[in-house]
A and B are shown apart, each in its own frame.
Chain A
Amino acid sequence: MKPSVGQTLSSPVDTTTVIVVRAPDSDVELTCAGVPLWDAKSGDEAPEGSADPDQLGGSLLGKRYADEELGLELLCTKGGAGTLAVNGTPIPLRDAKPLPASD
């Protein structure tokens, strides 16, 4: 799939929901617990599959998951049990370098 900025993606096998903050130009495979994430608003059927017991590292509410090389950043809006992965590789937590509060 080619994620777009602002798109909300959900896991069909756990509660994980993310929003795309930065999107790569290329097609990528985004999964949670090994099962593809999907856009519930797209009208597509939810992907079939069951959670891979080896990919249950969890996703955390409010954390950012980013692959700098791909230019991909997901913000977790609902945490869950599954591990977020891109093209089969777990997406690392991005180091949060908060800006100073400006307002």
Chain B
Amino acid sequence: MNLTMLLDMAAEGFGDRVVVGSRAGGLTAGRLRELAMGGARAIRDAGSDAVVYLAVNGPAFQVALFAAAYAGVPLVPVNYRLGEEQIDKLLANHPRAYAVVESQEAGVVARAGLDSRTPDEWLTEAAAAAGTDTEPVTTQAPAVIIYTSGTTSAPKGVLLRQENLVSYVFGTVEFMSADADDAALMSVPPYHIAAVSNALTNLFAGRRVLVLENFSPAGWLELVRAERVTNAMVVPTMLARIMDAEGLDLSVPTLRSLAYGGAKMPRRVIERALREWPHVDFVNAYGLTETSSTVTVLGPDDHRAALDASDPAVRARLASAGRAVPGIEVEIRDEHGEVLPPGTPGQIWLKGDQVSGEYAGSGSMVDARGFFFTRDQGRLDHDGYLFVEGRLDDTIIRGAENIAPAEIEDVLARHPDVADAVVVGVPDEEWGQRLEAVVVARPGRVVDTEALRQECRSTLRGSKTPDRIVVWEELPRTVTGKLLRRDVVAGLTSQLPVPPGH
């Protein structure tokens, strides 16, 4: 199984259909294949053993993804927002890479001893060698290496095999299921697993993909209307910003489906969006880099049923990640490895062909039964809906008590004055860690932190009430919406009233 199979099928089934970029001037499936084959030749001629991609999303990314697959080398999308020191470290792992690099990053890449070309130069090189008869080189190399965001530890290289990614596509997408004029808008950067999976699934479905490089609510809404976008994927912070934007035309007449994932979606935001856009099918997807993207899906019917349900179990599902996609098994286990019954929280373990669970330098992390530990905590309900309750690594130990911040954050975020909330453990001489919270006020509101503490005390209990709540302008998040808890702790423990940069 090779990613090139997907492109071969697309070129055969709908070679004349534009699959990347604008309707006028975009790449057809046939042309994408020719360029990928040309790109593969360039990579091989250079003797490279990887393709480093340090640029924004766009046609050059799709060509790089498939060119690497034809050449039998991994694509390594690198986060261009990382600090230079971190980029240096990542590039040092790939000394013989072929680099596609935005011109302003050329210096970093040159320092690593790599030749580089800009995305435009890359497309020109690929076009010069374009062909139709390249056979993919079979190697043991992974298809893609993605460095995790490292919100809790140093970035790790996740190895995704050709079989992992192709299994994911075959398991979740029907070939050519999109209409010829469908268009998908992608707003996550290429170093995110969703960008890789999105490029593959939309191509296989025959759906044209557009990219928004720098997200803004106005830019997103305008592009949806201008390009008649039918499907879009956002991270929760993006949907929150769209819904909270003032004075914008929120109409999205052509939009049929909106998928979200990557971080926790505040209930207030999804409820607002469901009422604002009743014609749109909302899809919540849960997955990890290590699982080739989506492993559970909360579908449109689940969303609509949950919005107005009187049954509390059905209502609660708006906060669930949905049910496993075909080919995925979910187990909730306790810390001794015992499988737990529905309703009982524990560790989330996953199994399936799309699950890699493999890291550069440390090999496969799946257990003897083929299950991978996500390091997420959660539970299944009696109908198989998964509720993700935060990272194990986020657990706060106050005295001898393990406290998951998610439950407290939920209470804080439910408050009408609060737009965003985080709870962290701050080093404490007496308790080991004490609970502190940071909240962001909704536009035009003022947060009464003492009233908020009382709210926690009455809803939860004393030991789960933050010892201190402070108000910041915003929370430190990655561009893909993940909370940087370390930065929150650093900000809270510094003597400054607000953390640097805020």
Q: Which A residues fall within an 8 A CB radius of B?
A: 5-6, 8, 19, 21, 61-63, 75, 77-78, 96, 98-103
Cβ-Cβ contact count across A and B, 8 Å cutoff = 75
Pairwise interchain contact B175-A62, C-beta atoms closer than 8 A: yes
Once bound together, how far apart are the Cα atoms of A96 and B353, in whole Å?
Answer: 20
Given contacts A99-B297, A102-B259, 7 further A-B contacts (CB under 8 A): A19-B1, A62-B176, A63-B175, A98-B173, A101-B231, A102-B285, A103-B259
A75, A96, A100: the one within 8 Å of B257 (CB): A100
Which A residues touch B294, using CB under 8 A?
102-103
Q: How far is the CA of A22 from the CA of B440 in the complex (A)?
A: 49
**Cα-based distance from A42 to B195 in the complex (angstroms):** 34
Given A6-B163, A77-B9, A103:B1 Cβ within 8 A: no
Q: B283 near A102 (CB under 8 angstroms)?
A: yes
- What bracket does the count of chain B residues touching chain A fall in? 35 or more
Closest chain B CB from A27 CB (angstroms)? 22
Asked if B289 CB lies within 8 Å of chain A CBs, one says no
State how many angstroms separate the Cβ of B445 from the closest Cβ of chain A: 33
From B9, B171, B283, B293, name the one whose CB has the most chain A CB atoms within 10 angstroms. Answer: B9
Question: Is residue B455 contacting chain A, with contact meaning CB distance below 8 A?
Answer: no
Complex alpha-carbon distance, A17 and B193, angstroms: 30
Knowing A100-B281, A103-B294, say if A21 contacts B170 (CB, 8 Å).
yes
**Residue among A62, A63, A99, A103 making CB contact with B233, cutoff 8 Å:** A103
**CB nearest neighbor in A for B302:** A100
A5 to B1, CA, bound (A): 10
Report the 3 A-B pairs with minimum CB-CB distance, sorted nearest first: A62-B175, A102-B285, A98-B174
Give a binary string over B3-34; 1 marks a CB under 8 Å from any A CB, 0 the rest: 00100110011000000000000000000000
Known interface pairs A62-B9, A77-B8. Does A100 touch B173 (Cβ–Cβ under 8 Å)?
no
CB–CB A96/B177 < 8 A: yes
Q: Contact: B12 with A103, CB < 8 Å?
A: no
Q: Residue B269 at the A interface, CB < 8 A?
A: no
Q: Which residues of B contact A19 (CB under 8 A)?
A: 1, 5, 170
Q: Are B194 and A103 in contact (CB under 8 A)?
A: yes
A5-B353, A61-B13, A75-B170 given; A100·B300 CB < 8 A:
yes
Q: Are B201 and A103 in contact (CB under 8 A)?
A: yes
Report chain A residues within 8 Å CB of B205: 101
Q: How far is the CB of B62 from chain A (nearest CB, A)?
A: 14
Q: Which B residues lie at the A interface, using CB under 8 A?
A: 1, 5, 8-9, 12-13, 163, 166-167, 170-177, 184, 194, 197-198, 201-202, 205, 207, 231, 233, 257, 259, 261, 281, 283, 285, 293-294, 297, 299-300, 325-326, 353
Report chain A residues within 8 Å CB of B257: 100-101
Task: Check B299 against A103 for contact (C-beta < 8 Å).
Answer: no
How many angstroms from the CA of A96 to the CA of B326 in the assembled complex? 13
* Chain B, residue nearest A7 (CB): B1
The residues of A that contact B167 with a CB separation of less than 8 Å are: 6
Q: How far is the CA of A19 from the CA of B171 in the complex (A)?
A: 12
Bound Cα distance A19, B231 (Å) = 28
- Could you give 5 example pairs across A and B, Cβ below 8 Å? A19-B5, A21-B171, A62-B175, A100-B257, A102-B259
Query: What's the least CB distance linking B98 to chain A, in Å?
Result: 26
Q: Shortest CB–CB separation between residue B334 and chain A, in angstroms?
A: 29
Chain B proximity of A69: nearest CB distance (Å): 17
Contact assessment for A61 and B353 in the assembled complex, using a CB-CB cutoff below 8 Å: no
The smallest C-beta distance from B164 to any residue of chain A, in angstroms, reads: 11
Contact for B5 among A63, A77, A98, CB less than 8 A: A77
The answer for the CA separation of A86 and B171 in the assembled complex, in Å, is: 22
CA–CA, A9 and B171, complex, Å: 18
Bound-state CA distance A5–B281 (Å) is: 32
Shortest beta-carbon distance from A100 to chain B in Å:
5
Task: Identify A61's interface contact among B12, B166, B281, CB under 8 A.
Answer: B12
Closest to B2 in A: A8
Cα distance, A77 to B175, chains bound together (Å)? 10
Q: Cα distance A93–B197 when bound, in Å?
A: 26
Identity of the chain A residue whose Cβ is nearest the Cβ of B8 in the assembled complex: A77
Determine whether the beta carbon of A102 is less than 8 Å from that of B297: yes
A99 to B257, CA, bound (A): 12
B178 vs chain A, min Cβ distance (A):
8
Q: Nearest chain B CB to A76's CB is how many angstroms away? A: 9
Minimum C-beta distance from A81 to chain B (A): 15
- Cβ distance B7 to chain A, nearest Cβ, rounded Å: 11
Q: Closest CB-CB distance, A14 to chain B, in whole Å?
A: 15
